[in-house]
Amino acid sequence: MAWLLATPDLVALGNYPGRPSNATLGLDGGQQAWLQTLAPNVAALDGQLATRMGHYHERLWHLLLDNAPNTRLLAHNLRITHRRNTLGELDMLYRTRENPAPVHLEVAIKFYLGLPEGPGDAACQSRWIGPGGLDSLALKYSHLLHHQLPLSRTPQAKTAMAHWLAPRDIAEPTTLSARLTQRLALPGVLFYPWHATLPPPAGATAEHRRGWWCHQHAWPSVAKHYSTALQLARLTKPHWLAPPPLDAFGAAKQRMPDVMAQVDRYGPQQVMLYDPQKEQEGAHYEERPLTRLMVVPDDWPHQIPLPPKRRG
């Protein structure tokens, strides 16, 4: 939860504002104490959602919005239908203490790897693809911009949302569509190629989280940039979010063969690297030089998604 609050969005999406700020949530002071009160609820999610990282991420947002001092969750996974056909779902609907008007929040957590060669120019979003090669930043951006966020402005969505609002809110003279605020939370990590220079994708925020990716054969070259004391921890879904505690790390030389075996069997694997000899003396754990690395098969990627269709 602390990682979620501190991690910036990967991209800015047109005129849509990003995530609710800590001040909006009422967490601009005393955040650590509040997190401790929520720890049992977060811990209860562990093991319940297997590898469904997207669902785990959504559940964290449910807890956040329903327990933060200044917000209340009104509804989540709100299905929008028309003549028995499902048009889509709104991820979350919430409100703040100061403003009864609803806020539609879409959330997604994404981990994309940048391709030195691929569709479009060097900054094209289509060059940033998911580890499995089925998704890309360009496809996600287009879906959010042209479908997911506009969905809450449809008559069917307004009818569905009205069910979750107090009668006094619906009866106000201004229309629901005029009062509705839409936001997007899109945290995650962009993994840059270890072997090549690649600029950030178009629309990327300046402060987005970064990592590296390398093919299996390149690991020895990567390891040479660290001391022999290099430590490693493998991240497993759905816990790709925050860095693991320090006691989860072990000697990289001993652990990397197991990681390589997982790559051979299941595909790309994410690890966290920690070099004790590179940290500043007396630094807190959160300030230590931790590096995210995605290790992929030597023949990766097996496929690259087509760019989204152009819209007139």
Q: How far is CA 122 from CA 114, 140, 186, 199, 253, in A?
A: 9, 18, 22, 7, 34
In order along the chain (312 residues), what is the average pLDDT of each group of 10 residues?
A: 93 90 87 88 73 87 95 94 89 90 94 95 97 96 92 89 69 57 95 96 96 97 94 92 92 98 98 84 53 97 89 60
Do 158 and 109 lie in one domain? The reply is yes
Do 166 and 78 lie in one domain? The reply is yes
Do 84 and 161 lie in one domain? The reply is yes
Do 135 and 284 lie in one domain? The reply is no
Contacts of 43 (CB under 8 A, 6+ apart): none
**305 lies in some domain:** no
pLDDT, tens only, 124-183: 999 999 999 999 999 999 999 999 999 998 989 988 888 887 665 555 534 555 578 899
Do 127 and 38 lie in one domain? The reply is yes
pLDDT, tens only, 58-74: 999 999 999 999 999 99
**309 lies in some domain:** no
pTM, two decimal places: 0.91
Main-chain phi, psi angles of 56, to 5 degrees = -60, -45
Long-range contacts formed by 74-82: CB under 8 A, 24+ apart = 74/102, 74/164, 74/165, 75/161, 75/164, 78/157, 78/160, 78/161, 78/164, 79/160, 80/151, 80/154, 80/156, 80/157, 80/160, 81/156, 81/160, 82/156
Count of structural domains within the chain: 2
Do 125 and 238 lie in one domain? The reply is no
- Domain range holding 273? 211-296
Do 40 and 172 lie in one domain? The reply is yes
